[in-house]
Structure 1
Amino acid sequence: MRFTLMSALASVDQADYQTLKEALDVSYALLSKHAAILEQAGYVRITKQFVGRTPRTDLALTRAGRAAYAAHLAALDEIVRGLAASP
């Protein structure tokens, strides 16, 4: 779930909880739990604000989060290339 969440955030500057919940097809509770873990790791920034009278929570990858995501993608790519090269 965390990698999927980071993948969704990697392609945008930020996204709100509702958009992420629908895109990832998860509950608010699951999204909130994993977002909090990523925030503790320093990979995600969570901001809360009001738009009119409606509360809105936005998530964005931090620089550290983008770097960790890129490193993880590179590691996965190496694994895939290694498997493809194996007889």
Structure 2
Amino acid sequence: LRGHPSSEENRDPPPREEGEIPPTQAEQEEEEDVVEIVTTTGDRDVVDPDPFTSESAQILFGEIMGCNLELEYLKKNKNKNIIDVLGRV
């Protein structure tokens, strides 16, 4: 028993503009596979989850580690600034 279809399954596609060519099924499937990630800084990263290889995982992991190091540096610098300001009071 599947129950009720989700709103995503039964939603109608947006109406086409005059002269617009409807996408092929392959294009629709490809479009559904793409995921957009928006960070708190407003950066956008488009990820295709299908061909996720060990190489792409290593690249992603490296980017995360780089961001983590930068975050640690910012935290230390913030704490140092707080200590400097409190030392002057």
Query: Do both share a fold (TM > 0.5)?
Result: no
TM interval, short-chain normalised:
0.3 to 0.5
> What TM-score comes out, normalization by structure 1 length?
0.37
Which one has a larger percent strand, Structure 1 or Structure 2? 1
> What TM-score comes out, normalization by structure 2 length?
0.36
- Bigger CA radius of gyration: 2
Pick 1 or 2: higher relative contact order, CA cutoff 8 A, min separation 6.
1
